Amino acid sequence: MSLAVALTRASEGVAAPLVTVEVHLSGGLPGTSIVGLPEAAVREARDRVRVAIQNTQFEYPNRRVTVNLAPAELPKDGGRFDLAIALGILAAGGQVPREALHGCEFLGELALSGELRPVPGVLPALLRARHGKRCVIVPVENAAEAALLGDVEVRVAHTLADVCAHLRGVEPLPTPDADATCGAVATVPDLADVRGQLQARRALEIAAAGGHHLLMIGPPGTGKSMLAQRLPGILPPLAEAEAIEACAVRSVANEPFDVRDWRQRPYRAPHHTASGVALVGGGSHPRPGEISLAHNGVLFLDELPEFDRHVLEVLREPMESGRIVISRAARSAEFPARFQLVAAMNPCPCGYAGDAGGRCHCSPDAIARYRSRISGPLLDRIDIMVDVPRIPLAELDGARNAGDEDSATVRARVITARGVAMQRAGKPNAALGTREIERDCALGDAERALLQRAMDRLGLSARAYHRVLRVARSIADLAGSARIAREHLAEAIQYRRTGEQS
């Protein structure tokens, strides 16, 4: 029988559906055809595979070769199918044992020399392969991400000849070095570098404890960007499952992979000229954008009003749902986007409104137009808004005060508070649903009256009402209080007043 079957996986968002490569050799004029909805890069595989087989000292069949990629309705693109196609052809011709292909999956692009080149999306493929309990063979350059999963049998290869030797039982392929994932952790900026700004530091700590979105408003040069860069250093460490989710997105996006920081929370800071596709993802072949690359981490948007308004409005849905669905005519893809938004903006176009220097000459109409670039619905989804005023020179030159704590000290409090929230609800306070808010954020009569007055005075929406309660719950957790007291609620309300008054 001149039929062989090899298994591989396609890339569809962060999913990796199984693809069965069926190869049949028949009589007739020599030639190779690939069917099963292949796109240009896959159709070109016939030339890459033929030359790679010949350069590996194997014989390319002088027969009619038909390659079917099933399921037929799934679009296939990229060079990830090359290795499986080559092995299917060799097995169909009897040059590699057919039975050796059973129980294995193959990923890799072939160079004309027969060397294996890395492909994107290996980690999602391994996550799906673990359920099938199959061995996965990948290029050696994908070994770092392959080593993250200890419960999947993975082998790495340099060339097609190495894979064939393994399948023949001549020389087994090595496994990826699991010890490489236990290297030194990449350093992150320390909060001790920030002088003063006690209110902003406090807001940053609350945001870290509850996973809340944060907006900082202040003149240029007051430390807004410095504070945002130090948020990942005070967040709780990623659990293994969360870290693998974040790495899977990076793998699909073909981002550089460094095993030193795979457990570090992502930090993304796109420029305000970024397009909607760059920020939320897209393209004819949907790829993840910055919000997905910030999954389980921090998305920092500096100069928030300078972003295109349409781009910002697209953030509203993923801020609520934690995912983004990109739909195109031929396909759609879903990417995770559970990020913590940290944004910074100036109080006016020139940046100096309210500054003690009195340098602002912006008219009230200009200031109103500037602030209106951010829509009310988007602001409504931001939990904490804090002013970041200019720091007196004496604080910059003087000795550190008691409020200038380092990241390790603040992180210890954040981890304790986040642990209380996770034990109580199984999720950070920012993700609490309506019923969970009613259960975990119950108020006494005095606190309820205070919140009612605040809602009437500030004109808060129902969404803002719930966000105030979530922030108050995080403040209470940091204070070690089982219930939300008046002072916790008053502080949470103050973080809404900043946005109204600025």
What is the structure's pLDDT at 501?
43
Query: Up-side HSE of residue 484: CA atoms within 13 Å toward CB?
Result: 29
Q: Are residues 103 and 32 both part of a single domain?
A: yes
Picking from 180, 213, 248, the residue at the C-terminal end of a domain is: 180
**What's the confidence (pLDDT) of residue 502?**
42
Q: How many domains does the chain divide into?
A: 2
| Residues 214 and 269 grouped into a single domain | yes
What pLDDT, on a 0 to 100 scale, did the predictor assign at position 390?
86
- What crossing angle do the helices spanning 160-167 and 82-92 adopt, rounded to 10°? 50
Model confidence pLDDT, tens digit, residues 290-348: 999 999 999 999 999 999 998 899 899 999 999 999 887 667 889 999 999 999 999 99
Contacts of 381 (CB under 8 A, 6+ apart): 213, 316, 319, 320, 463, 467
> For residue 222, which amino acid is it?
T
Same structural domain, 257 and 173: no
165 in the same domain as 16: yes
**pLDDT category of residue 186 using cuts at 50, 70 and 90:** low
Residue 172 sits in the same domain as residue 239: no
What was the pLDDT predicted at 486? Answer: 95
Instruction: Find out whether 11 and 38 touch, Cβ atoms under 8 Å.
Output: no
pLDDT digits (tens, 9 = 90+) for 139-184: 999 998 898 888 899 999 999 999 999 999 999 999 998 665 555 4
Query: Using one digit for the tens of pLDDT, what is the confidence trace for 379-390?
Result: 999 999 999 998
pLDDT at 387: 93
* Adjacent-strand bridge partners of 60: none
Read off the pLDDT of residues 427-470 as tens digits, 9 standing for 90 and up.
999 999 999 999 999 999 999 999 999 999 988 889 999 999 99
Same domain, 407 and 317: yes
Q: Is residue 451 part of a domain?
A: no
Together in a domain, 199 and 162: no
For 426-437, letters b (16+ CB in 10 Å) and e give: eebbbebeeebb
Domain assignment present for residue 363? The answer is yes
Domain that holds residue 23: 3-180
DSSP string, 135-171: EEEEEGGGHHHHTT-TTS-EEEESBHHHHHHHHTTSS
Angstrom distance (rounded) from CA 378 to CA 202: 23
Which two tokens mark 411?
């992180």
Residue at 444 is within a domain = no
Structural domain includes residue 38: yes
Each residue's pLDDT tens digit, 355-404: 766 788 889 899 999 999 999 999 999 999 999 998 877 666 655 665 67
Tens digit of each residue's pLDDT (9 = 90 or more) over 110-133: 999 999 999 999 999 999 998 878
Looking at residue 200, its pLDDT comes to 95
Domain CATH for 298? 3.40.50.300
